[in-house]
Amino acid sequence: MKIATFNINNVNKRLDNMLAWLRATRPDVVCLQELKCTDGQFPHRAFSAEGYGSVWKGQPSWNGVAILARGAEPVLTNDHLPGDEDDTQSRYIEAAVDGVLIASLYAPNGNPRPGPKFDYKLAWSERLIEHAADLIDTGLPVVLAGDYNIVPEPRDIYVTTSYRDNALVQQESRAVFARLIEQGWTDALRKMHPDETIYTFWDYMRQRWERDAGLRLDHLLLSKDVAKRLKRAGVDKAARGEPGASDHAPAWVELK
């Protein structure tokens, strides 16, 4: 079972890129973020033509998350992150696929910091930590995949001072990721590549792609029983270099 996460950064604008990547790699499950479309604009028919069922939660212009499943219809279990019924931002969706509970999440960026956006990032993260603990307690096989907008460690970002005040690298943000790991989740990319430099995001500005000036923002966290099945993990870096590409590359795991 191959599960991928891909911040597509506007699914309709980059649909050709998305379909080309699907045809080349054929993942069994895909978690998408930053759809940037309404529910009615989501291109589910194009994905269906490629053999993928889908569930999604859109939002005009911003955010939006989805889960695709090859040869199956994902069974929706949640289309919002519990803990704040007044939060209308489309940042979390959860579905069962082939016996695995899979979440696609798009965590808040949090910039500028300090300010209300950083406060929202931390509050949203507390809700994620609480819900993740509940998922662990179910004993079900779970994968939490998506754009966490957190650089877990200094080695997960290129050598620079330009991000010094950025919300992505702050102690409070990194503490969120550490607390999730402490619950018992496995960071699949780091587990399989303990000593390598791995990036999943390269900003469009200042030739950061050409300079390989990247960040690791996209993560797949595995519950204990799923981690035991972990076979491979990686990043489809070449997708970032295609014309019209997202500023993120797909990250993925293969399970036994």
pLDDT digits (tens, 9 = 90+) for 133-145: 999 999 999 999 9
Q: What secondary structure does DSSP assign to 29-68, as a single string?
A: EEEEE---S-GGG--HHHHHHTTEEEEEE--SSS--EEEE
How many CB atoms are closer than 10 A to CB 163? 15
- Catalogue all structural domains in the chain, each as residue range(s) with its CATH number: 2-255 (3.60.10.10)
Q: pLDDT (tens digit, 9 = 90+) per residue, 116-162?
A: 999 999 999 999 999 999 999 999 999 999 999 999 999 999 999 99
Q: pLDDT (tens digit, 9 = 90+) per residue, 185-216?
A: 999 999 999 999 999 999 999 999 999 999 99
Please answer whether residues 10 and 34 qualify as being in contact, where contact means their C-beta atoms are separated by less than 8 angstroms.
yes
pTM over 0.95, yes/no: yes
Q: What is the largest CA-CA distance in the chain?
A: 46
Residues in CB range of 51: below 8 A, 6 or more apart: 70, 71
160: phi then psi, degrees, rounded to nearest 5: -165, 160
Average the pLDDT over 23-41 and give the result: 98
Q: Give the residues across from 56 on adjacent strands.
A: 66
